[in-house]
Amino acid sequence: MGVGIVEYEITRACNLRCIHCYNRSGENPEKVLDLGTVERMMIDLKNLGIRFLDIIGGEPLVYPHLLKVLELAKANDLKVMINTNGVLATREMVKRIKEVYPDLLVGVSLDGSTETLNDTIRGKGTFKKAVRGILNFLEEGFDVTMLFIVNKLNWFDFGNYVEFAKSLGVSHIYVDRFIPMGRGLDNYGILGMDPEMMRIAVDYILEIVREEKEVYFYLEESIGGGRCPAGFSHFSILVDGTVVPCGHFRYDERFHIGNITKDKLSDIFEKGKTLFRNRKFRGCRACSYLRKGDPEEPDPVLELIRMNDEE
């Protein structure tokens, strides 16, 4: 299995302080990679046959050289998705992005179908601004995916969320699970779900996914039961150039495979593929690591779903 997707944390600076943020974006953001290093990274990705780059933050739209990075990605034939909170996606900014990378894929985070739900998680006033950002991207012809993080405060809203997405003209939704890291760990009492609630929530979400015909869903592996790509077909490049199987392994140096500022990307990926034994692991390795201390142990959420199926 070759590497298919590389995630690039372009910055940890952020205009928001979402209570579930796994990497504490906006708090003491580290120095970012210089553009020369970024350009070499893009060239290496192309030479390695990798075609998909997922740009995350922080908030990519606060990064001052975003347009230049998109130019570099385009020049190296990389298909790019950018993950944004949408708040800074003004019509002017979106038009500038359109000029540089007209077929950019856009993911906009929204954690509820109402202002009250979303703003409790992402901050006062963010719902209206994010929705405006979504509409600005859609008006310029971008392919937009709405990003929903399942937690105790919003899981029951998923049906309304799907209908709201459709009302905006969005036909793609990514469903992720809340992972207690960073500020998310600080707020676990507010956001965390006990096993029974998680079982009910996942069952509810999957029922909607099965019945919905107008929206295409991307399901995080714990929810959808897919294989975890971390360390095999997926790697994350952190803001300082450190490479990890996925961003949720950032806080444990045992999973720091290398750094693109000093190591060859091809060597890093080959080393990374030796981290985990089970290539057929289903669910989320990081979730098993965080909950059980071992990324090879079964995903606890997927175990709950299977128990539910057997009853």
pLDDT in tens, 136-171: 999 999 999 999 999 999 999 999 999 999 999 999
Amino acid 224: pLDDT: 84
Res. 12: pLDDT tops 50: yes
Strands 172-177 and 216-219: parallel
Amino acid at 28: N
Say yes or no to pLDDT of 279 above 90: no
Q: Which two tokens stand for residue 292?
A: 């059980």
Strands (E), 151-196: 172-177
Q: pLDDT value at position 111?
A: 99
Supply the pLDDT for residue 103.
97
Sheet strands side by side (includes 258-259): 216-219, 172-177, 143-150, 105-109, 79-84, 52-56, 5-9, 234-237, 242-244, 258-259
Task: State yes or no: pLDDT of 29 exceeds 80.
Answer: no
Q: How many residues comprise the chain?
A: 311
SS3 258: strand
Burial class (CB within 10 angstroms; exposed 0-12, middle 13-18, buried 19+) of 193:
buried
| Distance of alpha carbon 188 from alpha carbon 185, whole angstroms | 5
The pTM of the whole model exceeds 0.85: yes
Crossing angle between the packed helical segments 285-292 and 300-310, to the nearest 10 degrees: 100
Which structure tokens are listed for 76?
A: 């190296």
CA–CA dist 297, 278 (Å, integer): 10
- The amino acid at residue 247 is G
Average pLDDT estimate for 222-240: 90
DSSP 8-state secondary structure symbol assigned to residue 50: -
Average of pLDDT values for 288-300?
A: 86
Domains in the chain, ordered, with CATH?
5-278 (3.20.20.70)
Per DSSP, helices labelled H in 225-264 are none
Judged by average pLDDT, the poorest of 29-38, 114-123, 255-264 is 29-38
| For range 27-54, the mean pLDDT | 94
Which SS3 state, helix, strand or coil, does residue 282 take?
strand
Distances (CA, A) of 191 to 83, 127, 147, 305, 307: 22, 19, 17, 20, 23
Q: Report d(CA 264, CA 49) in Å as an integer.
A: 15
Cβ–Cβ under 8 Å, residues 142 and 98:
yes
Q: Give the per-residue pLDDT at 163.
A: 99
Assess contact for 6 and 231: CB atoms under 8 A. no
Residues 6+ apart with CB under 8 A from 69: 10, 35, 38, 55, 63
Q: Where does the chain show beta strands of DSSP type E?
A: 5-9, 52-56, 79-84, 105-109, 143-150, 172-177, 216-219, 234-237, 242-244, 258-259
Q: Is 21 helix (H, G, I), strand (E, B) or coil?
A: coil
List the structure tokens of 285.
Answer: 């390795």
Contacts of 147 (CB under 8 A, 6+ apart): 83, 107, 108, 109, 110, 173, 174, 176
Average pLDDT on 59-63 reads 97
Q: What is the pLDDT of residue 58?
A: 95
Amino acid at position 116, single letter: T
